Structure 1
Amino acid sequence: MDEMTCPKCGSSMTSRTLGAVTVNRCPSCSGVFLDRADLADLVEAENDWHRHTGPLTEPLPRITADMTAPPPSRPKARSYIETLFD
């Protein structure tokens, strides 16, 4: 595949693939470019991601003197598309 150039600023764009979607991003102007079919796939993946992220309710643990703090966790992405730009 030929190297793509940004239509806005003319810089070389980088490609990132996530699943079946390829997103082209310009590191200079931060423009994001993708095919129409890729946009449809992203919309579908975003809807699926939100469909399966309902509120998770777990009972709170009983606090005891021998408990230790859990290790810090990485914050969860707010959306599927956000995972493209970590």
Structure 2
Amino acid sequence: MKLIVYFLIIIVSLLIIIMDIFKFFLAFFKILGYFFIFGIIFTYLADKTQTKALVAFTTSSIFCFVIFYGYFAIMDFLVGVKVGLIQSLEKNQ
């Protein structure tokens, strides 16, 4: 049983390291999301009949912010799993 838990800790640690590498790309998605919000505002102010452009800007901004905040949610989940596994090992010893 301990061997399985150690194996899971190694897998979760590797996932955290891999996701930490992609952390540098998050700023790009956040800035892109804000640009899309400005695109929504300017498109709406310029011509309210351009519904395709408004839908495209809205979908793109939502997608960018989902990537940005979803990354932190997944990282918190993985860290919580790792801490829980380590605590379960300490409890059984």
| Band the TM-score falls in, shorter-chain normalisation | 0.3 to 0.5
Q: Give the TM-score, by structure 1 length.
A: 0.40
**Structure with greater strand share of residues:** 1
User: Higher helix share goes to which structure?
Assistant: 2
TM-score, scaled relative to structure 2: 0.37
Query: 1 or 2 for the larger relative contact order (CA 8 Å, sep ≥6)?
Result: 2
